Chain A
Amino acid sequence: MEAAMEDAWIHSACDMCFAACGILVHKRDGIVVKIEGDPSCPASEGHLCAKGQAALIGLYDPSRVKVPLMRTNPEKGMGVDPKWQEVSWEDALEILTNKLIKVRQSDPRKLVISSFDQIALSYFIRPAWGIAFGTPNTDWTGYYCGNYLHASMYLTNGSFHSDFDLDYCNYAILLGNQQGFMAGLNANVAARKMAEARRRGMRVVVVDPVGTNAAAKADEWIPIRPGTDGMFILSIINLLLNELGCYDREFLSRRTNGAYLVDGEGKYIKENGTGAPLVWDQRAHTSVPFDREGSDPALEGVFQVGEISCRPAFQALKDHVKHFTPEKAAEITTVPAHTIRRIAKEFGAAAKIGSTIVVDGKALPYRPVAVNIYRGAGAHKHGTHTALAVQTLNMIVGAYYVPGGHRGVNLVGPGGRWGPGETAEGLITPPAAIGRGARYYDLEERPPEDLGLHELFPITTNRSPMYQINLHDPEQFQLPYTPEVLMVCRRNLMMNNVNPQATAEMLRRIPFIVTFSTHLDEVAEFADLVLPEAHFLERFDLFPNRPSHTMSPATGHFYWGLRQPVVEPLGQARRWIDVLFEVADRMGFLPDVYKLLNVTLEIKEPYRLEPSQRYPMEEICDRWTKSLFGPDRGIDWFKNNGYHKVPRSVEERYPGPFIRARFPIYFENMLRAKKSVAKVASQLGRDWDTSDYQPLPVWKPCHAYDGGAPPYDLYVVNFKLPFHSLSITTQNPWLNDLAEHHPYAYKILINAETAGRKGIRDGEVIWVESVAGKVKGEAKLTECIHPEVVGIAGVFGSWARGKPVARGKGVHFNTLLPISLDRIDPISTGVDSCIRVKVSKAA
């Protein structure tokens, strides 16, 4: 009689993008045969995108790394054969441990870690390892979407992300992003909610140089010149404030710092003694502290406090935006002035200022409009100002954390477990739950000692491009050490950093590189040791998505789940964090890692980790879940049941009216940051441009805008496809198949009329060349791109021999970008990701 066939559906979590949707994996007789969305997961509700469904074929990719490999060829370079030699795990660990012991004895800061793994691992466990080792350089994630975004969101909405309420929104402007169209936060949920919203009549306006997936489905696509989004938004603000008189007075005076009085230098006027910012009380006709009960703060006018002439911050904003006229904006953005006027009018009318709605028995302000931003609009020099302008627009109509409007992710936690902080001036700061140190009002004037240069870029949390710049020339910021060991944990620095030639030069200078990778990718070409990393279907990861960071309120729940291994690892593959824990044990600092995990994971008695003990990672996670949810919620419960879910109350979905801290429409802390940055730069003996540190958003041209001298007459930008995410998905054969059949994926988009002028025909192979590099690809002539722009889909253009599916497919966008201090956003360090190019037919 035949043995019974194994036939099981297993709860786990996808890892094909950061949404980490819950999945059910169908396993038959030891083989994964199907992946579907997990109905118990609020992020997927039983649905799953193409990436998630295609993941299973990646599990069985024959080109995966199966054993540890050691380089024998000392020469390193793109395309140079490392002449790999197989080594045992024991030998590999000994090599790695010895290198780390040596570097730790010399100066622990010489170790650099690069990783971009799932949330709990990247944001809590790996940093604890780095601190215990003694290096501050653990956060090199490369050049990516969030460089400028997270800083701007923390500062304005107190959270990690930008989102908006699709349950009630009736009018949305998507500025260089595709939220709701299988991109961005909780993509599956957002796409379904977007479809429902469209059915009830929601209008979507996409402002983007490229006719993206979102633009194709929108009510209106407004092609805009790259890097000018800030001007577009500021002109809308001007129209609303100065022509249409359309703004939410109640919200601005009570829930923002709009009424705070500022002097001629832009600083708050403060009460003597308490230091509380003053407002002008229209009832008492005098200045009073901003939080005085019963006061009626003025938003407009000019007042005299003692000897000082001053005006409310909102008046300063009104005056400031006056010169951003639609006519001027039309010249800069190429969006006609009448279109800008129409959009401003539509947006203002749709905001329904003054209206309320009852949700779950509570009357709340109803502001069913939002302008949403993600990478595209802000990934330019001065991108922080674009994001602050966007947030200002949301705030002036009061569409902020109320039904229908903009919101961040999870400013408040379930049952009050976390909430926003508040400065002495009454302004919002991010909850401690998202991580210590995101304190935008807490400046330190001392020379930096980390590669990210924290003290030189205080108004951001994302400083990865500075790693690249510092590694290229470690002496330029007088860091007292030169990095000697680089550990790359599931990150392709060659593909995702700017300019592979420059990155290669930088990697060549690092004496020892170890990479944990599923493939012999572009980084492996420079590695001394390659360690086989487990595929996500072979991994155990607790809380791959965390409510405090990437979980949209659109899911209707707070939820916690795990990724459990569905099959045994291929060959000798292991998970990198387990290897690092073993190394820490060999080096004797694992007890310190445990101590830090007790703190950062807030593990309570009796589940705390005892430093003298040794725990497998599953037991650490078991203690963590029991500490959070009680003894009946160990990891076995999660393995069998999927998700622990807590429905969100109305206060948790729309916290705006329920919290005390105010939102800033005036960024007075920028003036303090400006001074602090100038002082730090002066300590480093550097002449530093601090002009972007100003309290109100502006539009300034990026290099590409000013750099149109012949023959570099076009802009190049990249864009996102819904079925690829990060460079690793390009090695998936099924997703490759989709890309090969997609009209844009592997092509170079050029406007048909522009191409006609240059004599380029559809399907011809063309060169696209910037001052930094050149790429070749097939021209796709289309009306769906701005006439001045060339478009290239992100993530493609791999060249590593160890990625046979991805190799040679599509075009590598980052090759075209240079890296220099001059081409980053001076506040966030975000890399300017557009540049002027020339286009020519390849012979």
Chain B
Amino acid sequence: MCRHEERPPALRAVGEVVMSFVLVKVSYLGLVRNVIGCREEEIELNPGATVGELLAKLAERHGDAFRWSVFKGGGELRSMALVCVNDCDIFQLQGFGTKLESGEKISVVVGVYPPEGG
């Protein structure tokens, strides 16, 4: 299985209100790392957040370099881009709709070309 056991969301105090949130670790591999200059980071998301929402947040954070590297014009992943949750391709899960839980490890990989042969 790709998924960890369900974990409770992390808690954080915001003023007097205790807010829950999801904390995931994102690794960047391949050509996307070359252009955003970031190897790994932790991202806070709202409970119930999906891979699609995470990618939107990453696009906002890293700007056009990230968008250009990861997405085609229509917001689809490029054919050479791969997004994994706990080392599992999201298309073996629920795609952009895959829900994220605290502690999960997300990899954004660009440069997965089909193999040559002879």
Given contacts A131-B112, A160-B117, contact A595 B34 (CB under 8 A): no
A146 to B89, CA, bound (A): 29
CB distance B113 to A450 under 8 Å? yes
B116, A462: Cβ atoms under 8 Å?
yes
**Which residue on chain B has the smallest CB distance to residue A450?**
B113
* Given A122-B115, A444-B79, A461-B114, A132-B87 contact (CB < 8 Å): no
Complex CA–CA separation, A442 to B80 (angstroms): 10
Write the residues of chain A forming the contact surface with B, with a CB cutoff of 8 angstroms: 18, 107-109, 116, 122-124, 127, 130-132, 134-136, 138-139, 141, 144-146, 150, 160, 434-439, 442, 444-446, 449-450, 452, 454, 461-464, 549-550, 592, 595-596, 598-600, 603-605, 608
Residues of A with C-beta under 8 A to B99: none
Shortest distance between the CB of A463 and any CB in chain B (Å):
8
Q: Which of A108, A116, A444, A592 contacts B118 (CB 8 A)?
A: A116
Q: Is the pair B117, A599 in contact by a Cβ cutoff of 8 Å? A: no
Give the number of residues in B that approach A within 8 Å (Cβ atoms).
28
Contact A131 B111 (CB under 8 A): yes
Check if B82 is an interface residue, CB within 8 A of chain A.
yes
B3 to chain A, nearest CB (A): 10
- Contact, CB under 8 Å: A595 / B87: yes
Q: Give a binary string over B98-118; 1 marks a CB under 8 Å from any A CB, 0 the rest.
A: 000000000101011111111
Residues of B with C-beta under 8 A to A141: 116-118
Q: Which of B1, B79, B113 contacts A139 (CB 8 A)?
A: B113
By a CB distance below 8 angstroms, the chain B residues around A136 are 30-31, 111, 113
Contact with B115, one of A139, A444, A598, A608 (Cβ below 8 angstroms)? A139
CA distance in complex: A139, B116 (Å): 6
Known: A141-B116, A549-B117, A595-B27. A442 touches B87 (CB 8 A): no
- Within 8 Å of chain A (Cβ to Cβ): is B49? no
Query: Bound state CA distance, A442 and B77, in angstroms?
Result: 11
Q: Is the CB of A608 within 8 A of B87?
A: yes
Please tell me if the beta carbons of B113 and A127 are within 8 angstroms of each other in the complex. yes
A-contact 0/1 string along B28-69, CB 8 Å cutoff: 011101100000000000000000000000000000000010
* Nearest CB of A to B105, in Å: 8
Jot down 21 A-B pairs with beta carbons below 8 A, ordered by A: A123-B115, A127-B112, A131-B29, A139-B116, A145-B118, A146-B118, A436-B80, A437-B112, A437-B113, A437-B114, A438-B114, A444-B78, A444-B79, A445-B73, A450-B113, A461-B115, A462-B117, A463-B116, A596-B109, A603-B87, A604-B1
B118-A127 in contact (CB<8A): no
Inter-subunit contact B79/A150 (CB<8 Å):
no
- Measured in the bound complex, the distance between the Cα atoms of B34 and A450 in whole Å is 13
Q: Which of A18, A132, A600 contacts B30 (CB 8 A)?
A: A132
A605-B3 Cα distance, complex, nearest whole Å: 10
A134 and B113 within 8 A (CB): no
Asked if B88 and A127 sit within 8 Å, CB to CB, the answer is: no
Q: Chain A's nearest CB lies how many Å from the CB of B27?
A: 7
A131 close to B109 (CB less than 8 A): yes
A123/B117 in contact, CB under 8 A: yes
CB distance from A428 to the nearest CB of B (A): 16
Complex: how many Å from CA A461 to CA B118?
Answer: 11
In Å, the complex CA distance between A116 and B68 comes to: 31
Q: B26 at the A/B interface (Cβ < 8 Å)?
A: no
Q: Which residues of B contact A134 (CB under 8 A)?
A: 30-31, 33-34, 111
Determine the chain B residues whose CB is within 8 A of the CB of A449 once the complex forms: 31
Chain B residues with CB below 8 A from A592, complex form: 27, 29
The answer to whether A605 touches B31 (Cβ under 8 A) is no
The reply on B84 being an interface residue by CB < 8 A is yes
Output the least CB separation between B15 and chain A (Å). 37
Q: Cβ of B79: which chain A residues have Cβ within 8 Å of it?
A: 436-437, 439, 442, 444
CA distance A279 to B109 in the complex (A): 40
Please give the distance in Å from A118's CB to the nearest CB on chain B: 11
Decide if A435 touches B115 in the complex (CB within 8 Å).
yes
Residue among B29, B73, B87 with the highest chain A CB neighbour number at 10 A: B87
**Most A C-beta atoms less than 10 A away, residue of B79, B82, B118:** B118
Seed contacts A146-B117, A454-B113; 11 additional CB < 8 Å A-B pairs = A109-B34, A127-B112, A131-B109, A134-B111, A139-B116, A150-B117, A160-B117, A461-B116, A462-B117, A595-B27, A599-B109
CB distance from B41 to the nearest CB of A (A): 15
Complex Cα–Cα for A438 and B112 (A): 10
Q: How far is B78's CA from A260's CA once the two chains are assembled, in angstroms?
A: 28
Tell me, in angstroms, the Cα distance from A742 to B65 when the chains sit together.
59
State in angstroms the CA–CA spacing of A566 and B1 once bound together.
36
- Closest A residue to B34 by CB, please name it: A134
Question: CA of A598 to CA of B89 in the docked complex: distance in angstroms?
Answer: 10
Q: A134-B30, A454-B113 are in contact. Are A599 and B118 (CB under 8 A)?
A: no
Contact B29 A595 (CB under 8 A): yes
- A146 CA to B72 CA, complexed, in Å: 29
CA distance in complex: A439, B109 (Å)? 18
**CB proximity of A417 to chain B, nearest CB, Å:** 13
Within the complex, the shortest CB–CB distance from B39 to chain A, in Å, comes to 9
Set of chain A residues within 8 Å of B31, measured between Cβ atoms? 109, 134, 136, 449
Closest to A124 in B: B115
Known: A139-B115, A438-B114. A596 touches B72 (CB 8 A): no
Which of B30, B87, B117 is A598 in contact with, Cβ under 8 Å?
A: B87
CA distance A549 to B117 in the complex (A): 9
Across-interface contacts of A122 in B (CB, < 8 A): 115, 117
Give chain A nearest CB distance to B85 CB in angstroms: 10
Q: How far is the CA of A440 from the CA of B77 in the complex (A)?
A: 15
Cα–Cα distance between A548 and B34 once the two chains are bound (Å): 32
Q: Contact check: which of A108, A130, A452, A549 meets B34 at CB < 8 Å?
A: A108
Residues of A near B116 (CB, < 8 A) are 139, 141, 146, 150, 461-464
Q: For B109, give the chain A residue with the smallest CB separation.
A: A131
Task: Please name all residues of chain B whose beta carbon is closer than 8 Å to the beta carbon of A127 when the two chains form the complex.
Answer: 112-113, 115
Residues of A within 8 A of B80 (CB): 436-437, 454
B82 touches A599 (CB 8 A): yes
* Nearest 7 interchain pairs by C-beta: A598-B87, A123-B115, A437-B114, A144-B118, A438-B114, A131-B30, A461-B114
Query: Complex Cα distance A536/B1, Å?
Result: 35
Minimum CB–CB distance from A598 to chain B (whole Å) comes to 4
A107 to B87: give the CA distance in the assembly, Å: 26
Closest to A438 in B: B114
Shortest Cβ distance from residue A441 to the other chain B in the assembled complex, whole angstroms = 10
Nearest CB in chain A: distance from B20 CB, A: 27
- Assembly CA distance A138 to B33 (angstroms): 17
User: Which residues does chain B contribute within 8 Å of A444, judged by CB atoms?
Assistant: 72, 78-79
Pair A595/B117 contact, Cβ less than 8 Å: no
CB A430 to nearest CB in B, in angstroms, measures: 8
CB neighbours of A108 from chain B (8 A): 34
Which residues in A have their C-beta under 8 angstroms from that of B113?
A: 127, 136, 138-139, 436-437, 450, 452, 454, 461
For A132, give its contact among B29, B73, B78 (CB under 8 Å).
Answer: B29
Supposing A136-B111, A439-B79 touch, asked if A605 and B118 sit within 8 A by C-beta, the answer is: no
Residues of A within 8 A of B112 (CB): 127, 131, 436-437, 600
Complex formed: what's the CA distance from A446 to B78 in Å? 11
Chain B contacts of A139 at CB under 8 A?
Answer: 113, 115-116
Q: How far does the alpha carbon of A436 sit from the alpha carbon of B91 in the complex, in Å? A: 12
State the Cβ distance, A424 to closest chain B Cβ, in Å.
13
Query: How many Å lie between the Cα of A257 and that of B27 in the bound state?
Result: 42
Report chain A residues within 8 Å CB of B73: 445
The A-contacting residues of B in range 11-34, CB under 8 angstroms, are 27, 29-31, 33-34
Q: How many Å lie between the Cα of A239 and that of B78 in the bound state?
A: 43
Within the complex, which residue of B33, B114, B118 is in contact with A435, where a contact is CB–CB below 8 Å?
A: B114
Q: Which B residue's beta carbon lies closest to that of A161?
A: B117
Q: In the assembled complex, which residues on chain A have CB atoms less than 8 Å from the CB atom of B68? A: 446
- The complex places the Cα of A138 from the Cα of B112 at a distance, in Å, of 11
A462 to B115, CA, bound (A): 8
Which residues of the other chain, A, contact B29 by a CB distance below 8 angstroms?
Answer: 131-132, 592, 595-596
- State the Cβ distance, B36 to closest chain A Cβ, in Å: 12
Q: How far is the CA of A442 from the CA of B1 in the complex (A)?
A: 29
Q: Which residue of A lies closest to B107 (CB)?
A: A595
In angstroms, Cα B113 to Cα A685, docked, is: 25
